Structure 1
Amino acid sequence: MAFLQINAIKIWLVPFMLGIILFTTVYYMNNFYNFIELDSSQSYYENFLDEGISNCNCNCTVPKRTQKVPKLLHYVYLNEDPNNLPFNFIQWLAYTSAIETIKPEKTYFHCIHEPKTYWYQLIKPKLSIMKTRIVTEIFGNRVDIIQHKSDIIRMEVLRDFGGIYLDNDIIVLQPFDDLLYDDFTMGIEGGTSLCDAVLIGRPFAPFLTRWIQRYKTFDDSHWSFHSVLMPYQMSKEYPNDIHVLNNTAFFWPHWEDEGLNLAFNTTNYSFSNQYAYHMWSSLSYERYLKHISPKSIKTVETSFNKAVRKFLNYLPKDFNEETFDFDGKNLNKK
């Protein structure tokens, strides 16, 4: 009889133990897949920071990311001829988009001579004027091309002060706040180059200081090697020193006819998912930019006009379209 009782207990224990094993397996598998699903989009640590330390019921403390890049905005304006100082509506639009979207602590205007046009006078109260030098050489290598002189000034400024450098034809569409936590940031232009029309960095960022040192081999006759191709090559050498964004962050649509047409002639493109748009003024000016006015932005439906229309709200309330032309000349002045 005792033998039968012992066997009955053993028979009863079998399904009980199987149930415990099954429950334990399902429980841990479920938690494992939840972890994998979370990790596919962001790390647990990042998710915790997003939710906020206030939601934590424990006594732990989580270090927040440290902002490395000061919220300073830099422009470089290097017209060396005091009689040739253009500053037009498109430049006002670009500066306004950056200042009102990024909301920098200061906006530095590094120049040799100040423009005197209406559009410059309109933006000037928001600028801190910094007189800069005329670049003639770097590491003993001669520099004649104005764009290369600008490259050198922007790199020196960002090295010494840190912040955000923008070309004069960059429209800013979203805040840059989440780009201020890395040492140095650039965006892809095309497939194998990093464009220096947008630079974001902390003072004396290692990548930038190395890049400047590479100018010891500078050759003014090579149009874009040191300013565009070299940083791309360096990003492969020092991937931990630079945050590289894809080409849709700042430089899309591209500068070719198809890209310019998409931005300025159609409504088929949305700028809503990028930080900024480089207007490629050296290629788009004659065909598109010089024909754009506040009135055309308000009335003509294009991808570009729809993206920048909101910035017209920063024009003076008494602004009269019939008074000043694209270049800021007073049309009523005899």
Structure 2
Amino acid sequence: MLPRNAYRLVMLMPAVVLAYMFSSYLYHIIDYVRQTNPLSGQKYIELAFEASDAELACLRGVALPGEQLPPPGATDPIPNIVHFIFGLKNPFEHPDAGRFDFLSYLAVRSAVVSLRSSAIHLHYTYLSEPPSPDANADPMTNPWIRRLAEHITLVHHPPANSTVQYAHLSDTMRLQFLLEEGGVYMDIDAFALRPFDKLLAAPRPHDVVLGAEGGNRWGLCNAVMAARANSSFIARWLASYDHVDFSREWNYHSVLLPKEMAEEHPHEVCRLAPDAFFWPTWTWRHVDWMHEPLGREAAQYWKAEIARHGGSLFDNQLAYHSWSQMAWDRYLKHLNPSVVRSRDTRFNLLVRQFMEDDL
């Protein structure tokens, strides 16, 4: 007869094996419940909304209600320069850092196609493929970089201190680039769908263009934004990062603080409705909606809508932020050129237009 402890161990082993086998499924179920339960707050993020007159004026680059346009020639447009940041964390040592892959290529390619920018700067530390411990490894070893090379300028940055919070380093770098050069900043999981020409004409003193996040407009997100160089708003925002304990907060400085600052300095910011950059949102249901398979009739409908709107799902949509933190494991990591071309989802229909013919 087995000793009692050994017997318990034998009885426990099947449960351990089953838990291991179904761990990813269990995680999916737990994550679903966590995000969609009535207390999660996601229903407020998904609230229906209408763009205000001020938000529409910002979108169209005209004077906001109650304001006068400056005299002709008194307002220089925001420069049509695009900044991306990628590869600050070394994927050779940290595989979770990700690689510059097909979707990264599509994001940059969307700016090439849609924005017709005078320059596209890809700021990076590590881009080589396969990943290398050497920060000076040749980025042209990456086939996706080679495809983009003639359209972009690679800007190398030395490795950061190993104790740095990389997400917040990216936050401050983007503000620094906009402060020094002006232009458009886009996260590497954001896709430009139509030209930004009108909003880049935002009349002074509105030197910064930010989009609302969530139907309840709970914040102004820094994943897509535009600014003139030397903006006092950007300088103030950048200075706010000094002496911050980032281990105690995540999105305050990137989403909530800019809204607070915009309310304190409304004449410095042009605010866009959620559908300009950040709709659909990051919620479970919205991510599902973007990636659910479409039947023939639905696919034809959305193809027609995208054509009617000049490349976007909705009338006022200029970009789509794909919320990779929320969508990667469920959807984005499974995408490749064949899948994007052959499977009709709203996301695939949006980004398919940026694929080169030989992919």
Task: Provide TM-score, normalisation by structure 2.
Answer: 0.65
What's the offset of the Cα at 1:219?
1.9
Runs of 4+ in 1 over 6 A off after TM superposition: none
Q: Give the aligned length.
A: 254
> Over the residues paired in the alignment, what is the CA RMSD in angstroms?
2.4
- The aligned amino acid for 2:208 is F
What's the offset of the Cα at 1:202?
0.6
Alpha carbons 2:165, 2:246 under 8 Å: kept: yes
Alpha carbons 1:144, 1:220 under 8 Å: kept: no
Paired residue for 2:143? 118
List gaps (5 residues or longer) in structure 2: 1-55, 63-70, 130-141, 306-312
- The aligned amino acid for 1:210 is R
1:229 aligned onto 2:256: yes
Distance 1:216 1:298 in 2: 45
Alpha carbons 1:67, 1:180 under 8 Å: kept: no
Distance 1:219 1:245 in 2: 30
Of residues 159, 171, 175 in structure 1, which corresponds to 2:191?
171
Distance 2:349 2:244 in 1: 41
Distance 2:123 2:224 in 1: 16
* 1:246-285 mapped onto 2 (5 Å cutoff): 246-267=273-294, 271-273=313-315, 274-285=317-328
Paired residue for 1:216? 242
1:311 aligned onto 2:354: yes
Of residues 200, 204, 227 in structure 1, which corresponds to 2:226?
200
Distance 2:259 2:117 in 1: 28
Structure 1 window deviating more from structure 2 (235-244 vs 186-195): it is 186-195
Paired residue for 2:337? 294
What's the offset of the Cα at 1:253?
0.9
Task: Quickly say closer, same or farther: Cα 1:65–1:294, change in 2 above 3 A.
Answer: farther
- The aligned amino acid for 2:128 is P
State the identity as a percent: 31
Of residues 213, 222, 229 in structure 2, which corresponds to 1:189?
213
Describe the superposition over 1:222-248 as per-residue Cα deviations: whole angstroms up to 9, x where unpaired: 111112111010010000000111111
- The structure, 1 or 2, with the larger RCO (C-alpha pairs under 8 Å, 6+ apart) is 2
Distance 1:293 1:80 in 2: 23
Paired residue for 1:22? none
- The aligned amino acid for 1:214 is S
* Bigger radius of gyration: 1
Task: Quickly say closer, same or farther: Cα 1:262–1:67, change in 2 above 3 A.
Answer: farther
Distance 2:193 2:110 in 1: 7
Alpha carbons 1:155, 1:208 under 8 Å: kept: yes
Task: Quickly say closer, same or farther: Cα 1:115–1:282, change in 2 above 3 A.
Answer: farther
Task: Quickly say closer, same or farther: Cα 1:144–1:244, change in 2 above 3 A.
Answer: same
**1:197 aligned counterpart, secondary structure:** strand
Of residues 249, 272, 277 in structure 2, which corresponds to 1:245?
272
Distance 2:184 2:321 in 1: 15
List gaps (5 residues or longer) in structure 1: 1-40, 48-61, 137-141, 320-334
**1:216 aligned counterpart, secondary structure:** coil
Task: Provide TM-score, normalisation by structure 1.
Answer: 0.70
